Amino acid sequence: MKIRIRTLAIIVLLAGMLGVVFVYGGLYNVAATEQHTEPMYRLLDYAMQRSVKRRTASMEVPDLKQQQRLRNGLVLYRRNCVQCHGAPGVSPDAFGMGMLPVPANLVATGREWEPAAMFWVVKHGIRMSGMPAWQYRMSDEEIWDVVAFVKQLTTLSPGEYAALSRQTPDASGQPAVPAAPSAAVPDISLGNAQAGARALQQHLCVTCHLIPGITGASRHVGPPLNGIATRTYIAGILPNTPGNLIHWIRNPTSVDPLSAMPNLGVSEQDARDMAAYLYTLKDIE
């Protein structure tokens, strides 16, 4: 018995050491030009499909046949999807083709996938694949519009897609992210900190700030946000109140036109949630 336990311990230790050598030694090749092995790809794809199925079993699907939905879906598809997934007769952009896994051709996906599964994937994205989550850029209604259009995509020839595209002008000039509000908000209540953590992750905040509890590259383009709850001023200018923090998050350039922090199209609800989270950060360390 003792010997068995010892053998087991040695095996675990060896496996751990191999893992360290593998990771620290840089043996895993992260190049997007090296394909996944076939079994690895199958496993990842299967895991993704099972994961989506589990989370969409009881979802209600609205009427996807309405003309207005399809037209809206086409506009949104052209703005947000064609760059990576292409369309009948339209190739993805250069960057879409260089991705691994490569973005699927959605004609086949539209034929095979349930609408609910597509809705879920578009809303939440696919981790570690490059498929973005659209939850914070499109409303649920708009996501259903896109799903309706992808379902229709399977029936369109390149000629029909081009014709439909010409008939459905993009509401051009309309930015993909909503315009930031200009008026300062005197004081608004804070939102939900947990939702805020997710929203912070989803608006590139950690590409510039160190934010305790939010995983990311934590670069230091902007000041670290630890202890933000206890600071007197925001960005050295605004008194640190919930209303001002929410205002800053939504529209920093209206406060300081030269700020290196861009307007990121944060909705009011998301900003209230983010502020709720940021006010939990009391420790300077």
Nearest approach, Cβ of 34 to ligand HEC (angstroms)?
Answer: 16
Cβ proximity to ligand HEC: between 3 and 272 the closer is 272
- Strand (E) or helix (H) holding 234: strand 233-234
In the block, tokens 């997007």 appear at: 32
- 176 near ligand HEC, judged by CB under 6 A: no
Q: Which stretch binds ligand HEC (CB under 6 A): 32-40, 164-172, 175-183, 259-267?
A: 259-267
Cβ proximity to ligand HEC: between 47 and 204 the closer is 204
Nearest approach, Cβ of 15 to ligand HEC (angstroms)?
Answer: 31
Q: How far apart are CA 279 and CA 190, in angstroms?
A: 9
Sequence-ordered alpha helix ranges (H) in 25-153: 38-56, 67-80, 82-85, 94-97, 106-112, 115-124, 140-153
C-alpha distances out from residue 221 to 33, 158, 208, 258, 261, Å: 30, 45, 5, 14, 9
- 204 near ligand HEC, judged by CB under 6 A: yes
Nearest approach, Cβ of 20 to ligand HEC (angstroms)?
Answer: 30
- 83 near ligand HEC, judged by CB under 6 A: yes
- 132 near ligand HEC, judged by CB under 6 A: yes
Q: How far apart are CA 128 and CA 111, in angstroms?
A: 25
Max intra-chain CA distance, the chain: 78
Cβ proximity to ligand HEC: between 192 and 259 the closer is 259
Cβ proximity to ligand HEC: between 162 and 235 the closer is 235
**How many residues bind ligand HEC, per CB under 6 A?**
48
Does residue 101 sit in helix, strand or coil? coil
Cβ proximity to ligand HEC: between 3 and 30 the closer is 30
Q: How far apart are CA 165 and CA 169, in angstroms?
A: 7
Q: How far apart are CA 102 and CA 92, in angstroms?
A: 10
Lay out the site mask for ligand HEC across 87-126 (x = CB under 6 A, - = otherwise): ---------x--x-x-xx-x--x--------x--xx---x
Cis amide linkage into residue 101, ω under 30° from 0: yes
Q: How far apart are CA 61 and CA 153, in angstroms?
A: 18
Q: How far apart are CA 116 and CA 233, in angstroms?
A: 45
Nearest approach, Cβ of 256 to ligand HEC (angstroms)?
Answer: 5
Task: Summarize as ranges the residues that interact with ligand HEC (CB under 6 A).
Answer: 80-81, 83-85, 96, 99, 101, 103-104, 106, 109, 118, 121-122, 126, 129-132, 134, 146, 150, 200, 203-205, 207-209, 221-223, 225, 228, 231, 234-235, 248-249, 256, 259-262, 264, 266, 274
